């Protein structure tokens, strides 16, 4: 039975997948949702190690699909590089990603990095980034925004500045980049430059909250398609 390891992005927690998990279970899949917020003031490498540890807890030989949302695109690629024999498919959901030596602030526009550092200074600490408002994640419905706002937590700045440590292992794992439309950042390009199959989803950045059904459809489809086959269909 396939296990989906669902890794939340910055400022979020495992609860971000609450509407996705039941749908995957209904489709006969297992899930794991590592909690990166439990690691405190940690960095990208700590998060990748925690995801690798979650992978280690899955019975050997069981197919694994590793999914990373937003910032966690960098995390899951490093984790997969640490456990290449275990991960069968990588999925980036509006995921930041790049080759060895990439960081979120290195991939983002300079204006984004300046805003992030300014927010950290304004909050009285240069080590933590305060959470932005729900609208920053595309959540504009008042009820949904009210539900999301108190759940968001500060993000360690190290997670955005540390650069990935990758070898050739991760590049041998097939991948899919799901990008939300309209795009806020070039997530489709990030995936395409890595050789991943790209799939659009008409949804805001936090698609797992607003559009769980079409997202799960894409996750299930992605897990069954090899990159070589996907390229032949494009």
Domain ranges (residues) in the chain = 3-82+91-228
pLDDT at 228: 40
Check residue 88 and report its DSSP letter. Answer: -
Tell the CATH topology of 3-82+91-228.
Rossmann fold (3.40.50)
In whole angstroms, what is the distance from residue 136 CA to residue 184 CA? 10
pLDDT at 40: 86
What pLDDT tens digit does each residue of the chain (234 aa) get?
999 999 999 999 999 999 999 999 999 999 999 999 999 889 999 999 999 999 999 988 889 999 999 999 999 999 999 999 999 999 999 999 999 999 999 999 999 999 999 999 887 777 899 999 999 999 999 999 999 999 999 999 999 999 999 998 999 999 999 999 999 999 999 999 999 999 999 999 999 999 999 999 999 998 876 544 433 333
pLDDT at 234: 35
pTM above 0.75, yes or no: yes
pLDDT at 232: 33
CA-wise closest residue to 138 among 208, 68, 200: 208
- For residue 93, the tally of other CB atoms under 10 A from its CB is 31
In whole angstroms, what is the distance from residue 184 CA to residue 115 CA? 15
């Amino acid at each position: 039975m396939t296990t989906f390891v669902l890794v939340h992005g910055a400022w979020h927690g495992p609860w971000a997948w609450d509407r996705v998990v039941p749908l995957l279970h209904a489709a006969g899949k297992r899930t794991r949702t590592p909690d990166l917020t439990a690691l405190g003031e940690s960095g990208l490498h700590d998060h990748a190690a925690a995801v690798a540890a979650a992978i280690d807890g899955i019975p050997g030989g069981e197919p694994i699909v590793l999914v990373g949302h937003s910032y966690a695109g960098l995390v899951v690629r490093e984790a997969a590089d640490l456990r290449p024999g275990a991960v069968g498919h990588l999925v980036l959901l509006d995921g930041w990603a790049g080759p060895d030596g990439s960081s979120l602030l290195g991939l983002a526009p300079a204006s984004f990095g300046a805003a992030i550092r300014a927010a950290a200074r304004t909050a009285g600490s240069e080590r933590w980034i305060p959470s932005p408002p729900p609208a920053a994640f595309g959540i504009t419905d008042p009820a949904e925004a009210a539900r999301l706002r108190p759940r968001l937590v500060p993000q360690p700045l190290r997670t955005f500045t540390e650069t990935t440590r990758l070898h050739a292992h991760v590049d041998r794992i097939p991948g899919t980049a799901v990008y939300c439309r309209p795009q806020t950042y070039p997530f489709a390009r990030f995936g395409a430059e890595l050789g991943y199959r790209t799939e659009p989803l008409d949804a805001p950045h936090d698609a797992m909250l607003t559009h769980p059904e079409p997202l799960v459809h894409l996750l299930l489809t992605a897990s069954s398609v090899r990159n070589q086959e996907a390229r032949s269909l494009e």
